[in-house]
A and B are shown apart, each in its own frame.
Chain A
């Protein structure tokens, strides 16, 4: 009796230490990638760029992802860019321009259709591959973990990222994106958490341009299907424009 009581007590003391231990930075990064860039998905996304003068431009696109590093975005709206496509395979990025009937290589750092996201924000969601992460001990807020990410490849979109993830469910809620010199380029808010076929994730990201503070862009996921297995042939250069 005494032995079983002792065992129960010992176990009970052990539980909080393990069950409520902070996750490691690597675990949070893995969670981020699983939520923001599931292995395979087909998503319908709407991006609205809010400009200095208060006007907006809205783009609609479908994004197809396979594995860690294959992305293909196809623009449907507005009509002026309809049929334009972007393909990422590994560290390679191409854009297909239907008015020229051809594809050209791009670097990752360009802005995504002139909005406040850059190409890699949309087409390169693999933070585990691109960044090393460490947990910041004092996150400044009790309900979230703060991660500091440093680029570990030349193809990473940013030199440094600060990322806040909610303690309740490890969902990303805020990001800040910096140059190597520490200048903040962009700031993102992750909101409108939704379940997409069983995957819960932010349904909207608002990206604020810190270099032109009147500007910001929002990206909303209208639909997302993770139960897809697109053929490899969808992610080759020669398939663009078909």
Chain B
């Protein structure tokens, strides 16, 4: 027995210290080990975290007065001051919530227009909706976890599923992006989301409602117009004015299946939208996206969505050759322009493919190609531009017809503004609403240069006429709580001979809008 005891004791001594993990974890402290950490106090029931920033941005701009879209409402000098607060709530692991709200004060002036001879004319300062003070509720939602694998989110939230950096063709839920100013795309949509997350896949279902009325950024109508049949309004000639109200719902439904498969993010999507962020009625769309990192440095991604019809407005070439032709069509009861292909059975695809190379020094370069299957071909773009070039005369015509109580069917001039159907959700000055078919995006980002500097540059290029936007930014991380940013935007005019040949001139897509350049200086204090 003694031999047995001795043998056991020897074996114990001989057992390596690596025998099992439990022994490792329970290992006594070595002499230079500090005292054990004291017991942490009990966690509060609800944790609240507050953060935010105060940002003041002064912008100088130069707008051409001879471009087809008017410059009258482009301020050449503007200041935007934004106070942002973000409150995050956590109730153990059961529920969480976020409020991301901004209060924005803007002051703008120095407006210029065309004096009728093509010369610049300074206009009196006037009220422009885009520069009004407003409250922006970017996000306001709560999530409840019924189970590890099932949660429900309710409120306003920005959900972006696709991997595209500059734009996301599969993002039908959120307001349109400004790819040249990433900080101005935080606004989400009002929605309810059911989500079942698992280790390697997630199923999501989202129902989102369009804000049909809001005051100073605070919504007062959702899905339906609160007063779909208000008392009719009349123009100066006593004609009933179309107010755009209807009694149909305005919503988006989305189902998405995500899988992490062979280290690749794969998403499949189904959407149904009803006059949500575009003109489509009860439109079903299917999409897919994928993202994978190769060679530990190159991320490649793909994102596509397919659907029938087109949500763009088209003009009848027979009706737009002249003001008289326009009037002739209208008097004959023919619509000169409108959403004429909205129920077209032809399948169209919007697709984005790109890659991001990560350099070893906190720098990355992203290239993306975007194909817009419902974009205008050369003739359709030419038709659109033709109508735009006649806009002043057509407005006069519409006014004179109204005085004679004659209306042209289809309200054709209302479709000239491609962003009219979408609420940007924030005071961004530029939204990317592609009119043509082929685009390229280049994004270079280099953070923490010499520790304190970030630079980024975005180039958006229309490949049909080589017009675009270039938006460089330099940020000085002055303190841990203060960033100073100098940024700008320059409109690349493109090659006129490749644009629409209208009224004796060549017009490229990005040179339709009046802004030639913009420079801003921003100071952002974080707290």
- Which residues on A are within 8 Å of B, measured CB to CB? 4, 7-8, 11-12, 14-15, 18-19, 21, 23, 27-28, 30-31, 34-35, 38, 49, 51-52, 57-58, 76-80, 82-83, 89-92, 98-102, 104-111, 114, 154-155, 168-171, 192-200, 203, 223-226, 231-239, 242
Partner among B32, B145, B258 whose Cβ is within 8 Å of the Cβ of A233: B145
Residue of B15, B36, B198 with most chain A CB atoms under a 10 A cut-off: B36
Q: Are B258's CB and A200's CB within 8 A?
A: no
Query: Is A83 within 8 A of B149, CB to CB?
Result: no
- Could you jot down 13 A-B contacts, CB within 8 Å? A7-B3, A79-B480, A82-B49, A100-B183, A101-B158, A107-B299, A110-B360, A155-B296, A193-B33, A232-B148, A233-B148, A237-B202, A237-B258
> Are A80's CB and B477's CB within 8 A?
yes
B residues whose Cβ falls under 8 Å from a Cβ of A:
2-3, 6-7, 10, 13-18, 21, 24-30, 32-37, 40, 49, 51, 53, 86, 88, 93, 96, 98, 138-139, 143, 145, 148-149, 151, 158, 160, 163, 165, 182-183, 185-186, 188, 195, 197-199, 202, 204, 258, 260, 263, 265, 291, 293, 295-297, 299, 356, 358, 360-362, 447-448, 451, 477, 480-481, 483, 526-527
Question: Closest CB-CB distance, B168 to chain A, in whole Å?
Answer: 9
Cα-based distance from A83 to B447 in the complex (angstroms): 18
Contact assessment for A110 and B362 in the assembled complex, using a CB-CB cutoff below 8 Å:
yes
Given known A101-B186, A107-B358, contact A79–B93 (CB-CB < 8 A): no
C-alpha spacing A242/B356, complex, angstroms: 26
Residue from B15, B18, B40 within 8 A of A31 (CB atoms): B18
Chain B residue at minimum C-beta to C-beta distance from A101 = B158
Q: How far is the CB of A186 from chain B (nearest CB, A)?
A: 13
Tell me which residues across on chain B come within 8 A of A107, comparing CB atoms: 293, 296-297, 299, 358
A34, chain B: closest CB distance, angstroms: 5
**B483 contacts A171, CB within 8 Å?**
no
Assess whether A226 is in contact with B25, with CB atoms less than 8 Å apart. yes
Residue from A28, A195, A233 with most neighbouring chain B CB atoms (10 Å): A233
Q: A23-B17, A223-B40, A236-B198 are in contact. Are A90 and B6 (CB under 8 A)?
A: no
The answer to whether B293 and A154 touch across the interface, beta carbons within 8 angstroms, is no
Give A107 to B363 CA distance when docked, in angstroms. 12
Contact A105 B163 (CB under 8 A): yes
Chain B contacts of A223 at CB under 8 A? Answer: 37, 40
> Which chain B positions have C-beta within 8 A of A106?
293, 358
Which of chain B's residues has its CB closest to A44's CB? B40
What is the bound-complex CA distance between A100 and B358, given in angstroms? 19
Q: How far is the CB of A194 from chain B (nearest CB, A)?
A: 5
Query: In the bound complex, do residue A198 and residue B86 qualify as a contact, i.e. CB atoms below 8 Å apart?
Result: no
In the complex, the answer to whether A170 meets B160 with C-beta atoms within 8 Å is no
- A197 to B34 Cα, complex, angstroms: 12
CA of A107 to CA of B293 in the docked complex: distance in angstroms? 7
**Who on chain B is nearest to A230 by CB?**
B93
The answer to whether B296 touches A154, judged by C-beta atoms less than 8 angstroms apart, is: yes
Q: Is the CB of B37 within 8 A of A83?
A: no
Contact B3 A30 (CB under 8 A): no
| Complexed CA–CA distance, A38 and B22 (Å) | 11
Cβ-defined contact, A233 with B27, below 8 A = no
Contact B197 A23 (CB under 8 A): no
Contacts A34-B24, A110-B362, A233-B145; A82 near B51 (Cβ below 8 A): yes
Residues of A near B451 (CB, < 8 A) are 49, 51-52, 57, 114
Residue of A nearest to B199 (CB): A232
Q: A8-B3, A233-B151 are in contact. List 16 more A-B contacts (CB 8 A).
A: A27-B18, A31-B17, A82-B49, A92-B293, A100-B186, A102-B160, A106-B293, A107-B293, A154-B295, A169-B17, A171-B30, A195-B33, A197-B36, A223-B37, A231-B93, A237-B202
| Chain A, Cβ-Cβ closest to B292 | A105
Give chain B nearest CB distance to A37 CB in angstroms.
12
Q: How far is the CB of A1 from chain B (nearest CB, A)?
A: 12
CB-CB under 8 A from B149, the residues of chain A are: 233
User: Which chain B residue shows the least CB distance to A21?
Assistant: B16
Bound Cα distance from A110 to B360, whole angstroms? 6
- B525 (CB) vs chain A CBs: closest residue: A79
Contact B481 A80 (CB under 8 A): yes
Residues A109 and B297 in contact, CB atoms below 8 Å apart: yes
Complex CA gap A98/B49 in Å reads 14
CA–CA, A222 and B36, complex, Å: 12
The distance from the CB of B272 to the nearest CB of chain A, in whole angstroms, is: 21
Contact residue among A15, A49, A57, A236 (Cβ-Cβ distance under 8 Å from B199): A236
In the bound complex, residues from chain B placing their C-beta under 8 Å from that of A8 are 3, 6
Given A8-B6, A92-B260, A238-B258, residue A198 in contact with residue B25 (CB < 8 A): yes
Q: Is the CB of A78 within 8 A of B526?
A: yes
Shortest Cβ distance from B179 into chain A, in angstroms? 12
| Complex Cα gap A30–B24 (Å) | 10
Chain B neighbourhood of A52, CB < 8 A = 451
Assess the B37–A194 pair: CB atoms within 8 A.
Answer: yes
**Across the interface, do A104 and B165 meet the contact criterion of CB distance under 8 Å?**
yes
B260 close to A89 (CB less than 8 A): yes
- A77 and B526 CA atoms in complex are apart in Å by 11
Task: Kindly state the separation between the CA atoms of A49 and B260 in the bound complex, as whole angstroms.
Answer: 34
Known contacts A23-B18, A57-B451, A226-B25; A101/B10 CB under 8 A: no
